């Protein structure tokens, strides 16, 4: 099974994934990473160079500047689709900032997984963590979901949840780091063909959907 990533900015979570001790099998099944931003991507470019992963830069900022954002997103999506077809990719994982659309979503339906830093359906879009903290949410977390045409509206696969005190002094990494383990759990579930997309959502075969957790956990 071959995978690819579409990223924006520093892609800190992907850097963590590729530097993780479990990354060997991922790297051997990851032909390319496509980024739409150059300035902040020095670390991920270096990791790709060191591990033999092709780094593809799509200059979103300076291409098709005469087009409206919706059309620019469509052209970005078409470029991603072109690369996915060329490398015969099975699944695309997304840490990108731009809304994907068009033929890409049809051809790769239920095979594009997006990671978003909130407990969806709350706080869709940008600055999700900041909005959650401004509203003094008791718990915060991350969501992995299957992409659709909307803004963070796809079928949810998995979520991580923690108490908001983990945010500390603007420590975004504390909240975002669980995405790394989330990715590896999803990777294993996909390999084992345990993910089932149903009419009303996504189910992972053999997963526990009945456990109840309390915050804070009272210790004796």
The percent of residues above 90 in pLDDT, for the chain, comes to 91
Please indicate, yes or no, if residue 93 is contained in any of the structural domains: yes
Radius of gyration of the chain (CA): 18
Please indicate, yes or no, if residue 175 is contained in any of the structural domains: yes
Q: What's the number of CA atoms in the CB half-sphere (13 Å) around residue 162? A: 19
Phi, psi of 82 (to 5 degrees): -60, -45
Please indicate, yes or no, if residue 188 is contained in any of the structural domains: yes
Is the pLDDT reported for residue 63 higher than 90? Answer: no
Please indicate, yes or no, if residue 125 is contained in any of the structural domains: yes
Please indicate, yes or no, if residue 215 is contained in any of the structural domains: no
pLDDT for position 65: 86
Q: Find the CATH number of the domain harbouring 40.
A: 3.40.50.170
Q: In what order do the strands lie in the sheet with 54-57?
A: 54-57, 32-35, 3-7, 91-95, 112-116, 139-146, 156-163
Please indicate, yes or no, if residue 88 is contained in any of the structural domains: yes
Residue 196's contacts (CB-CB under 8 Å, 6 or more residues apart) are 202, 203, 204, 205
Please indicate, yes or no, if residue 76 is contained in any of the structural domains: yes
Is the pLDDT reported for residue 213 higher than 90? Answer: no
Structural domain including 27 reads: 3-204
Residue range 74-90, pLDDT digits in tens: 999 999 999 999 999 99
Please indicate, yes or no, if residue 214 is contained in any of the structural domains: no
Is the pTM above the cut of 0.75?
yes
pLDDT for position 171: 86
pLDDT for position 93: 98
* The total number of structural domains that make up the chain: 1
pLDDT for position 168: 78
């Amino acid at each position: 099974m071959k995978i690819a990533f579409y990223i924006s900015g520093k892609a800190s979570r992907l850097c963590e994934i590729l530097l993780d001790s479990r990354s060997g099998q991922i790297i051997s099944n990851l032909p390319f990473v496509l980024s739409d931003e150059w300035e902040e991507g020095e670390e991920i470019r270096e990791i790709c160079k060191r591990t033999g992963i092709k780094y593809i830069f799509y200059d979103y900022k300076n291409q098709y500047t005469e087009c409206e954002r919706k059309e620019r997103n469509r052209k970005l999506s078409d470029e991603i689709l072109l690369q996915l077809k060329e490398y015969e990719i099975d699944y695309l994982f997304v840490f990108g900032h731009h809304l994907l659309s068009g033929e890409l979503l049809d051809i790769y339906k239920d095979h594009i997984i997006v990671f978003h830093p909130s407990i969806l359906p709350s706080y869709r879009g940008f600055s999700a963590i900041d909005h959650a903290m401004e509203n003094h949410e008791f718990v915060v977390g991350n969501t992995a979901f299957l992409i659709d045409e909307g803004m963070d509206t796809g079928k949810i696969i998995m979520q991580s949840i923690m108490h908001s005190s983990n945010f500390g002094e603007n420590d975004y990494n504390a909240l975002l780091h669980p995405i790394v383990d989330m990715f590896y759990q999803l990777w294993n579930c996909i390999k084992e063909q345990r993910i089932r997309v149903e009419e009303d959502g996504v189910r992972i075969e053999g997963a526990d959907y009945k456990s109840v957790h309390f915050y804070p956990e009272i210790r004796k």
